[in-house]
A and B are shown apart, each in its own frame.
Chain A
Amino acid sequence: MLKTALIGLGKMGLSHHAIINAHPEVELVAVCDTAGYVLDVFRKYTGIKIYTNYIDLIQENELDAVFIATPSRFHSEMVRACLERGLHVFCEKPFCLDPEEGLRLAELAEQKGLVNQVGYHYRFVGAFCEMKRLLDLKVIGDIHNIRCEAYGPVVLRSKGKSWRNAKNEGGGCLYDYACHAIDLMNYMIGPPRSVGFSILNKIFSEDVDDEVYSEFVYENGASGQLSVNWSDESHRKMSTKLAIWGTKGRMVADRQEIQVYLRAASTLPTGYNAGWNVRYTTELTEPVWYYLRGEEYSAQCDHFIQAVKAKRMDTRSSFRTASETDMVAAAVRRAADLPTEGVASIYSQTDESAQERTKSSRGGLWSRLIR
């Protein structure tokens, strides 16, 4: 039995608690949170050891691994303390608000031979796993465009106060929602070389962004687009869709299905034909021992647990890959701070009278399209 503890009993913490506790190879020894009312309920109804100070928790218990599900601004300090105590660490996303610190923690974990994972659960969704498998087989040829969209109904009016709505605490659509999309794009084709034109706009929030749009440029010249909005009521829950175009075909995946179009020139993998192919979640999803709200949440915990048991360092979502995601997010934030006006006026710079001439015509559109 692996002995583990959990720090943070918010929304993700509760979910992790249930999943770890139900795992047949794990004993959840203790939990830590600062909210007294939550701890009271746990003390009373589960009999688990509870702490309000995580240092006490890791010092007083014989542990193999720790799960950290606190607000993002605490991650770096807590992860470091756990690593220094020789504990394997699973940490929620986004990993560190400062990507440099994230990389230092990745190095520390690697030096100490400690298994490390970050909770990017989309890497464990059947349809996205299949997309990754097909990419590794290079079935759609050279990638020239990748596009990820994520929409959901989180902030729909001008109020609310939790850390998720607080700037510099890991709140906002960029850190809460868009990080998943960025991480998924990174998982598929690696991080971009640079981030271009980016927008972080408020729709209803006062302090943080509600929508994120960004252009990525990749090493091989491929381009990427990110389009994320957590103030979209037309979606019932977070909905993430990833599309990739290559010289030999195209793939589109979401949580439910993957659609693959393969040109005749493609090397066809077993079970795939030239033209359209559709695979559904019912056939792509591996069974899990316990289901709470999607197989991927159970699968990522099991992946971590098996890695700890095998002392395997190459988890599917490591501190290092999560730090790369933080780096891209930070770059999006920097790019969005650049002046957005005047990247390319729709009017020709060399012809000042163009503005007058195209005022009521559609001519200006061309200069925007060919910028």
Chain B
Amino acid sequence: MQRILFGDNQFFGVNHMSEEKARAQAMRFQNIEAIIEVLDAAYDEGVKVFMCTTHDRIQQVCDHMRANPQRYADYEFYPCMPYAHKYANAVTELGILGALNKVLPEGGVISGIFKSGVSLAKKDLEGLAGMLIDAEMKMFKGLKTPVIFLQNVVTDLLLGLGMKDALRMFADHVKARYDAEPGFITMNLPMALDALEAVGIENPIVCSNINKIGFRMCGGLPAYEAAIATRRFRPVAMSVFASGALKPREALEYVCKQPKIESIVFGASSRGNIRQTKQLIDALSQPRIDAMAS
């Protein structure tokens, strides 16, 4: 995995601090060119992974990358699926089955399964999960997707429900069908590690909030620090600035000091910010690289 991953919240009006800021960002990035411009800036600063939600608009980013293969020779996507609001709104409007049929246009199969009253046996659920993953992955056809993440709302729902096997289904399908590493985003890191271990997913890639003030780190800061220090997994840190509550240097010093965090996700809207953040991460990671070398 790359050390620095570029996130996409800023492009889609996601801001955990302020709805006004979120709206201003949504306006700024309503044209796909504005998004591409920032992705280009990041790429030229050496941030070559886009960790993005499978939002409908990412399709246009993908089209652009496919059309310019030479410009983006080293570009990688780490898709995060699904874009949950798409499903949540569809369920409110159409009910669970209606939503499935909407997301899976060729879903005659699905309604057939349900309407015929055939029970949803294990094979069917696996098939359904596979079809949902494939539907989300369609937009990335022909692009590099070495890591594919399951979004926290699904990971955490499955954790809560105790449906650990579904985590395994995701991992298996992503490996088999896309030759990619499965990743899991979660707001409940200690709980997620237990579940992944229980279903035999070894040394998993797990992305969670990791920040100095413990913001949205369920189980508490000490439990996270202990997990990072002692458990076998490949941590990816997100929300390192705690939605802007922390100053960049202070925030990154904390994250870079943690042992074995493999990657850090951040989002930014200007080349200046991207450069500054990348330089800080590089500088603060240097002692760690030196230690690994010696």
Contact = CB atoms under 8 A, between A and B. Distances in A.
A276 interface: no
B108 interface: no
B98 interface: yes
B161 A282 contact: no
Interface in A90-138: none
A46 B163 contact: yes
A40 interface: yes
A291 B209 CA distance: 12
A11 B93 contact: no
Given A18-B156, A160-B98, A282 B93 contact: no
B232 interface: no
Contacts of A271: none
A280 B216 CA distance: 14
A202 interface: no
Contacts of B85: 236-237
A239 interface: yes
Interface string A293-313: 101000000000000000000
B15 A256 contact: yes
Contact of B96 (A35, A160, A285): A35
Given A46-B163, A291-B218, A239 B188 contact: no
B166 interface: yes
A254 B161 contact: no
Interface centre among A35, A38, A161, A256 (most CB of B within 10 A): A256
A285 B187 CA distance: 15
Main secondary structure of the interface of B (DSSP, over half): helix
B93 A155 contact: yes
Contacts of A236: 12-14, 22, 26, 85
Contacts of A14: 157, 161
Contacts of B157: 14-15, 18, 292
Contact of A164 (B12, B93, B160): B93
B17 A36 contact: no
Contacts of B14: 236
A41 interface: yes
B245 A283 contact: yes
A280 B166 CA distance: 36
B28 to A, nearest CB: 15
Given A21-B160, A164-B92, A280-B245, A256 B114 contact: no
B11 to A, nearest CB: 12
A326 interface: no
Interface string B1-33: 000000000001111111100100010000000
Given A11-B88, A292-B156, A161 B94 contact: yes
Contacts of A48: 162
B19 A37 contact: no
B16 A282 contact: yes
A127 to B, nearest CB: 11
26 contacts: A18-B156, A18-B157, A18-B159, A19-B160, A21-B160, A21-B162, A22-B160, A36-B119, A38-B96, A41-B120, A44-B120, A45-B161, A45-B165, A152-B89, A161-B98, A162-B92, A162-B95, A165-B93, A176-B92, A254-B19, A256-B17, A285-B215, A290-B188, A290-B191, A290-B218, A291-B156
Given A44-B121, A44-B122, A241-B19, 19 more contacts: A36-B117, A36-B119, A37-B97, A37-B114, A45-B125, A46-B161, A47-B162, A160-B98, A161-B94, A162-B94, A162-B95, A176-B92, A236-B12, A236-B14, A237-B88, A237-B89, A256-B18, A283-B245, A287-B214
